Amino acid sequence: MRVPLVPAALHESDRPSATAQWTTLGRALELKHPEPIVVDPYAPAFLSRNSRALYRSLLRTGAWWRRAEQWDIAGLAASNLCRHHFLDDHLLEALPHVDQVLVLGAGYDARAYRFADAIGERPVFEVDLPAISKHKAGVVARNHALFGDVRVRRVEIDFRRQSLVERLAESGFATGAPTYVVWEGVSMYLTRDAVTQTLAALASATGRGSVLGMDFWQQVDGAGGPLRVVVQRAMRLIGEPITFTSPASEVSRLLEPAGFVPIDLAEADVLTARYATGDRCCDPGMYVVAAELHGN
């Protein structure tokens, strides 16, 4: 039997996302940081056997790990954590004005549990590919003592092939109601068409005053140093290549046709200033935006 060198693309496979493991590993490691950017006590529960082994090894390196955090390439890890904090802040700001929470490409996002008290009775919809969605539900079910009775509505979808509006309607989503939407760490794995179609779908599924928080990759010469090329190649090798980038200067042109008006945009310098700790710096190749739905 021939084993392909590059695995099938994520949306064509039945494996849970490896990059979702990476972001969760980052949040799990952060729990041991003296100055955490994000506190996610649920992250360790989602680590795979391999991630758990890496987690233990990295923790054993102690002082070396703290020094490595300041390398250019570690900017990506800092960016992941700072964008999470940014999107947490916008969730808390939006909650008094919204009826529901929608997490697109949820991976092992634990906001439904981390903010269970603030979210209260508002339903939380977590949308992702079937493999990871089922896997996550299994982890939550096996760890009831940790996750408690929080009810999350799972919506299985492939953004590249299925209609978000239809899948949400089938899942009990209140069409037209004000919603906080978090779409974190996903746009870069899609096509421009899939991103614009999802934005249009969000505009028709959610109501005026909804807030969308999402991040993008952009091409910035020299960002992340030469190792960034290695990281991007590694992502291709694991079947999760970067397929969409868009410069921060053009984010309005991407969001406004769907009716979303940016209310907060944070590139690496702003993310670093607001959230980074321990001399860490964010990677200029990633930025995050919050946008309010004004109608289209």
Ligand X SMILES: C[S@@+](CC[C@H](N)C(=O)[O-])C[C@H]1O[C@@H](n2cnc3c(N)ncnc32)[C@H](O)[C@@H]1O
Integer Cα distance of 15 and 61 in angstroms: 30
Closer residue to ligand X, CB minimum distance, 60 or 161: 161
H or E element, residue 132: helix 130-142
Residue 106 makes contact with ligand X by CB under 6 A: yes
Residue 17 makes contact with ligand X by CB under 6 A: yes
CA atoms within 13 A on the CB side of 63: 0
Integer Cα distance of 106 and 203 in angstroms: 19
Stretch that binds ligand X, among 66-74, 152-160, 173-181, 255-263 (CB under 6 A): 152-160
Residue of 78, 38, 21, 24 lying closest to 282 (CA atoms):
78
Q: What's the residue count for the chain?
A: 296
Write the CB contacts of 62 (distance below 8 Å, at least 6 apart in sequence): none
Residue 105 makes contact with ligand X by CB under 6 A: yes
Residue 79 makes contact with ligand X by CB under 6 A: no
CA 242, distance to chain mean position in Å, is 14
Integer Cα distance of 270 and 292 in angstroms: 20
Instruction: Sketch the per residue contact string, 184 through 213, with ligand X: x for CB under 6 A, - otherwise.
Output: xxx--x------------------------
Residue 158 makes contact with ligand X by CB under 6 A: yes
Closer residue to ligand X, CB minimum distance, 156 or 256: 156
Nearest-CB residue to ligand X? 107
- Shortest distance, CB of residue 277 to ligand X, whole angstroms? 19
Integer Cα distance of 283 and 114 in angstroms: 26
Residue 256 makes contact with ligand X by CB under 6 A: no
Name the burial class of residue 222, with classes exposed (0-12), middle (13-18) and buried (19+) by CB atoms within 10 angstroms of its CB.
exposed
Beta bridge partners of 156: 128
Of the candidate residues 20, 29, 199, 255, the single one contacting ligand X (CB under 6 A):
20
Residue 180 makes contact with ligand X by CB under 6 A: no
Stretch that binds ligand X, among 29-37, 59-67, 105-113, 268-276 (CB under 6 A): 105-113
Write the CB contacts of 111 (distance below 8 Å, at least 6 apart in sequence): 88, 91, 101, 103, 119, 124, 182
Residue 107 makes contact with ligand X by CB under 6 A: yes
Tokens, residue 12: 């064509």
Residue 28 makes contact with ligand X by CB under 6 A: no
- Shortest distance, CB of residue 212 to ligand X, whole angstroms? 14
> How many other β-carbons are positioned within 10 Å of the β-carbon of residue 142?
11
Closer residue to ligand X, CB minimum distance, 128 or 267: 128
- Shortest distance, CB of residue 46 to ligand X, whole angstroms? 9
Residue 21 makes contact with ligand X by CB under 6 A: no
Stretch that binds ligand X, among 31-39, 89-97, 99-107, 172-180 (CB under 6 A): 99-107
Total residues contacting ligand X by CB under 6 A comes to: 22
Of the candidate residues 159, 217, 260, 275, the single one contacting ligand X (CB under 6 A):
159
In the complex, the residues that contact ligand X under the rule CB under 6 A are 10-11, 17, 19-20, 23, 105-109, 128-129, 132, 157-160, 184-186, 189
